[in-house]
């Protein structure tokens, strides 16, 4: 029989933290990701704090390399996390994930489960590793323990409830997660605020008040097709023309500087918009804000990504397109005339600094 004791839920999805290197001592960066189960990763932890943790329930949702993370799996993860948040027996949730696309999953989970976390007084904490599990200096065990302690509120007990990521002794909001280095052990939270910043808690609470409800999210087969296209010197009109005619629903332009894109794409993007394709401008720079009508006036209906990276802007646009589609269904109570994809995108992307 399943135990009825309060517990932490530990969800495994794969990644480097679950990887094995054939020659870990001499070449730890040459490895096969997503091999070891999350239950085995937990069983290998060795620290006095483990004895004080609540009971741990492990679920191996998947074991994949996150660079090939399927969006159907994102739907399954979202449904599992929401179910766990609403389960009174579960005190908190930890998730192991590959670092390559963790920022997309973190942003997605925050968009669909932030208010649920606040209402149920729960924490969801993502973590992973930059080195495989059998590397001599593997960072996975330390990161996993850190994530579990944070999820159980044994670490940072005064920090607000919500969705976080934990790496190398640092924390950041799941929606702010960004991998900014190819190999550094603290790459996933390199630009984050450390958890000991006293002002951080106030900022988290301020952000929590900006949106009153979580976003609906697509089922495994319902994700709108949205691509990212990067602007660069010598960009050809053909790059845009390849998309029409097609079934694409949205395009995120990873622009230069403040989110501008090559003049050769002007007519092609206008044509896409006229055929009903949603277009969002973001920046390939990695930091800063893309603002409306800068560096030049936006065509009618085009949206700036604000502070979202191209990858996060893509998730936000998919959720916005899905929400707009749902608002027009017969069962919806939302005023379909006012709730366009732009409205939903602004709700998700227009975050406070």
Query: Comparing 7-208 with 226-349, is the CATH topology the same?
Result: yes
Residue 186: the pLDDT is: 85
DSSP state of 299: P
Looking at residues 255-261, what average pLDDT do you find?
97
- Please write the tens of the pLDDT for every residue from 288-344: 999 999 999 999 999 999 999 999 999 999 999 999 999 887 566 555 556 899 999
Q: Tell me the C-alpha to C-alpha distance, in Å, between residue 320 and each of 9, 73, 159.
A: 29, 19, 29
Separation CA 276–CA 270 (nearest Å): 10
CA 6 to chain centre: 27
**pLDDT category, 141, cuts 50, 70, 90?**
very high
Q: Work out the number of other CB atoms within 10 angstroms of the CB of residue 199.
A: 8
Q: Is residue 222 over pLDDT 90?
A: yes
- For residue 126, what is the enclosing H or E element? strand 123-127
Looking at residues 190-217, what average pLDDT do you find?
68
Quick one: 346 exposed, middle or buried, by C-beta within 10 A (0-12, 13-18, 19+)?
A: middle
- Taking alpha carbons only, the member of 115, 108, 107 closest to residue 160 is 115
Q: Is residue 56 over pLDDT 60?
A: yes
- Taking alpha carbons only, the member of 253, 317, 265 closest to residue 107 is 317
Domain range list for the chain: 7-208, 226-349
Inter-residue contact 92 to 166 (CB < 8 Å) = no
Q: Is residue 95 over pLDDT 60?
A: yes
The pair phi, psi for residue 216, each rounded to 5°, is -70, 155
Model confidence, pTM: 0.93
**pLDDT category, 349, cuts 50, 70, 90?**
confident
In terms of pLDDT, which residue wins out, 171 or 320? 320
**% of the chain beyond a pLDDT of 70:** 90
Residue 1: the pLDDT is: 42
Q: Is residue 9 over pLDDT 80?
A: yes
**In whole numbers, what is the pLDDT of the chain averaged over residues?**
92
Question: Does the domain made of 226-349 have the CATH classification 3.30.365.10?
Answer: no
- Please write the tens of the pLDDT for every residue from 263-295: 999 999 999 999 999 999 999 998 899 999 999
Residue 320: the pLDDT is: 97
- Judged by phi (left if over 0) then psi (alpha if -120 to 50, else beta), residue 234 lies in left
Residue 350: the pLDDT is: 74
Looking at residues 14-26, what average pLDDT do you find?
96
Inter-residue contact 133 to 17 (CB < 8 Å) = yes
CA 138 to chain centre: 24
Domain 7-208 fold = Rossmann fold (3.40.50)
Q: Is residue 153 over pLDDT 80?
A: yes
């Amino acid at each position: 029989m399943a135990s009825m004791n309060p517990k932490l839920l530990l969800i495994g999805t794969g990644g480097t933290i679950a990887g094995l290197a054939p020659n870990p001592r001499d070449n730890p960066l040459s490895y096969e990701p997503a091999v070891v189960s999350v239950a085995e990763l937990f069983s290998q932890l060795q620290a006095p704090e483990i004895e004080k943790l609540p009971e741990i329930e492990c679920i191996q949702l998947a074991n994949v390399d996150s660079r090939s993370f399927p969006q159907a799996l994102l739907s399954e993860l979202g449904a599992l996390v929401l179910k766990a948040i609403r389960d009174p027996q579960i005190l908190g949730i930890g998730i192991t994930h590959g670092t390559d696309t963790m920022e997309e999953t973190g942003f997605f989970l925050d968009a669909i489960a932030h208010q649920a976390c606040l209402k149920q007084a729960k924490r969801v904490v993502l973590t992973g590793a930059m080195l495989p599990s059998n590397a001599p200096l593997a960072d996975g065990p330390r990161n996993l323990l850190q994530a579990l302690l944070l999820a159980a509120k044994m670490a940072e007990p005064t920090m607000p409830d919500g969705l976080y990521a934990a790496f190398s002794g640092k924390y950041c909001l799941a929606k702010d997660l960004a991998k900014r280095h190819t190999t550094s052990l603290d790459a996933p939270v390199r630009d984050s605020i450390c958890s000991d910043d006293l002002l951080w808690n106030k900022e988290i609470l301020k952000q929590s008040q900006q949106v009153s409800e979580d976003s609906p999210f697509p089922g495994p087969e319902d994700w709108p097709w949205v691509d990212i296209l990067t602007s660069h010197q010598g960009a050809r009109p053909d790059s845009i023309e390849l998309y029409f005619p097609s079934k694409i629903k949205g395009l995120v332009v990873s622009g230069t500087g403040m989110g501008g894109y090559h003049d050769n794409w002007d007519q092609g993007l206008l044509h896409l918009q006229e055929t009903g394709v949603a277009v969002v401008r973001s920046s390939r720079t990695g930091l800063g804000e893309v603002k409306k009508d800068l560096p030049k006036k936006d065509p009618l209906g085009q949206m700036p990504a604000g502070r979202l990276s191209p990858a996060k802007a893509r998730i936000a646009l998919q959720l916005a397109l899905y929400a707009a589609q749902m608002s027009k269904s017969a069962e919806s109570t939302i005023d379909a005339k006012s709730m366009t994809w732009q409205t939903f995108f602004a709700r998700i992307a227009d975050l406070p600094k």
